[in-house]
Amino acid sequence: MYTSGGDDASRVLIPYCRGVAHHAKILTVSDSVSDGQRVDGAGPLLQERLEAAGFRVDERRVVPDGTSPVASALREMSQGFAGLIVTTGGTGFAPRDLTPEGTMQVLDRAAPGFDELMRSTSPFGALSRSRSGTLGRSVIINTPGSPRAALECLDAVLTLIPHALDLLVGAGEVHPPEMGGSTATSS
């Protein structure tokens, strides 16, 4: 592993990727951003961080809060896509914060370890109801709408995502020594 440039707060551990570019998409969930009343603060920062980590961001989309818009967008975004889908917004306790509910409607399998890691990044993490898991050949993670919190949550799991994606699409054969593995095949 190596770190990207920048100050300590923006330094990201870049995982072993075998030279393969992974793909990502970002879904911003916000009534006020979708209505044009507010500028998306987290989406561009997430894109920047993902690109610094070697991901190619194929799409950024905005939908209003609510279970149905989130579920529909995630279904569409995952169709024929193998990669990471990061949502930002709608994970808190406000009445319209329904991103986890929309996400749970579409997940094939949950990945609670990602949720636990993301929540452990901050004392405010306990206020996040984020959900993560797989849909087809996509890994989906929910991050908060706060730009700082979204980056903290992404950073908490970013080094694990390439390996999770490789395993999901059947390419996870050998664990690299830098990731604590040996030449044994993945289980």
- What residue spans define the domains of the chain? 19-171
Q: How far apart are CA 52 and CA 123, in angstroms?
A: 27
CA distance 26 to 61: 6
What pLDDT shows up at residue 14? 43
Average pLDDT on 47-57 reads 97
**Confidence at residue 169, expressed as pLDDT on a 0 to 100 scale:** 86
Q: Can you count the helices (H) and strands (E) in the chain?
A: 7, 8
In this prediction the pTM is 0.83
Q: What percent of the chain stands above pLDDT 90?
A: 79
Q: 19-171 architecture in CATH? A: 3-Layer(aba) Sandwich (3.40)
Band the pLDDT of 53: cuts 50, 70, 90.
very high
Query: What's the pLDDT score for residue 3?
Result: 40
CA distance 98 to 172: 33
Cβ of 19: how many Cβ atoms within 10 Å? 6
DSSP reduced 3-state for 177? helix
The single residue listed with the structure tokens 């040996």 is 182
Closest CA to 68 of 93, 99, 27: 99
Token match 């050998």: residue? Answer: 174
Q: Which tokens sit at 80?
A: 């024929």
